[in-house]
Amino acid sequence: MALLEVENLQTHFRTPDGINRAVDGVSFQVDEGETLAIVGESGCGKSVTSMSLMRLIPEPPGRIAGAVRFQGRDLLQLSEREMRAVRGNDVSMIFQEPMSSLNPVLTVGRQIGETLRMHQGLDKQAAELRAVEMLNLVGIPEPARRVREYPHQLSGGMRQRVMIAMALACNPKLLIADEPTTALDVTIQAQILQLMLDLKRRVGAAIVLITHDLGVVAEIAERVMVMYAGRKVEEAPVARLFRSPRHPYTQGLLGAVPKLGSSLTGAARRLTEIPGQVPSLKKAIEGCAFAGRCALATDLCRQVAPGLEVKGPGHIAACHYAAKEAAAA
C-alpha cells in the first residue's frame, strides 16, 4: 500500500462568473520515502492540490471531492478535529511565503513549540529545548538566541528554514513543500534543497514538492507529475521524463529551460515558446485542455479528451499522438 493515494481529486470554487475547476480529476500516489514533484505553469492547480491534501480549502466557496487516502485513511472523510491531529504531526506542509505564514507577533520558538505541545504533549520548557534543537538541525546559527526572535528579525532564508523546522518538528511521514525556494537567491535555494535532502535521509519522510522550477525537480525528485489546466497530463520517473517527454506541453516546458554552456559548445538555440493562453477554468473544457496551444492538435483532440495511457515503464501521458511525439523527438 502506498503512503498517500489520491484518487479523482476535484477542487472547485463557486464564483459569481461560474464554477472554477481548479483541480479537475487528478490521481496519483506517493510511496514511503519517495519524492514526487508536481510541476506546471502558474495557475495549473499545483498549490490548490497541495492545500486540498491538507484540507485547507475554505468551504464555501471551495468544494473538495474524490479520495485522499493517507496510510489507508481517507482524509476527506475525517472530522475537523481528527484532521487537526493529522496536520503538523503525520502530514506537514512548508508554505510558499514564510513571511505571511509565520505569525509576526510570536517568537519563532513559540511557533515551533506550539506544534510540539499540541501533538507531542511536551511542556513549555521541553518544547523550547526541542525548538532550539530543530533550529540547529536546519542550520540556523546561535539557535538559543534565534528561538526568542521574531520573524521580521530573520532573513528570508532563515525564515524558510524556520518553516522547515516547524514542519519537521514532529517527524512527519509526509512533507508537502509548496514552492520552498521561491523568492530566495540561488545560493540560498541550493542550501534549502540540500537541507531538505539531508533531512529526508535522516527522518525518512516522503516529500510532495510543488514547483515550476524544473532545475529543482532534477535536483531533488525521483518522480514527476505534470499538471495543466487542473489536470494531470504526464507522469514519469524524472530521468525518463527529461530524456523522453511524451506530452507536447511537457516538451514545451523542457524546451523553455536554458541549457548551461550551450553557447560555448555551439548548441545554442532559441528557447521554445508555448503559444496561446491557458483556457478558462470557469468553463467546461471539451477534449484536450492543451489543444488550443498544440501544433499537432486535430478535430479528435478538440472533441475527445485523451485518457492517461502507458507510454513506457512507469511513464503515462494524456495525448492522442504521444507515440508520434516520441518518434519525432
Mean pLDDT of 300-305: 90
Q: Does the structure show a pLDDT above 60 at 263?
A: no
Report the sign of the C-alpha dihedral through residues 246, 249, 252, 254, in that order: negative
Determine the pLDDT at residue 267. 58
Half-sphere exposure of 31 (CA within 13 A, CB side): 5
Q: Does the structure show a pLDDT above 80 at 98?
A: no
Q: Does the structure show a pLDDT above 50 at 112?
A: yes
Count of CB atoms within 10 A of residue 49's CB? 26
Mean pLDDT of 63-69: 94
Q: Higher model confidence: residue 306 or residue 197?
A: 306
Maximum CA extent, the chain: 67
Determine the pLDDT at residue 137. 80
pTM, two decimals, is: 0.87
User: Residue 209: beta bridge partners?
Assistant: 37, 177
User: For the chain, which residues make up each domain, given as ranges?
Assistant: 4-221
List of residues 6+ apart from 124 with CB closer than 8 A = 113, 117
Which amino acid belongs to residue 169?
A
Q: Give 211-260 pLDDT, tens digit per residue.
A: 888 888 888 899 999 999 999 999 999 999 999 899 999 988 888 777 66
Q: Give 5-46 pLDDT, tens digit per residue.
A: 999 999 999 988 888 999 999 999 999 889 999 998 888 889
Q: Report the percentage of the chain scoring pLDDT > 90.
A: 33
Mean pLDDT of the chain: 85
Count of CB atoms within 10 A of residue 313's CB? 8
Q: How confident is the model at residue 269 (pLDDT cuts 50, 70, 90)?
A: low
Q: Which CATH class is domain 4-221?
A: alpha beta
Q: Does the structure show a pLDDT above 90 at 184?
A: no
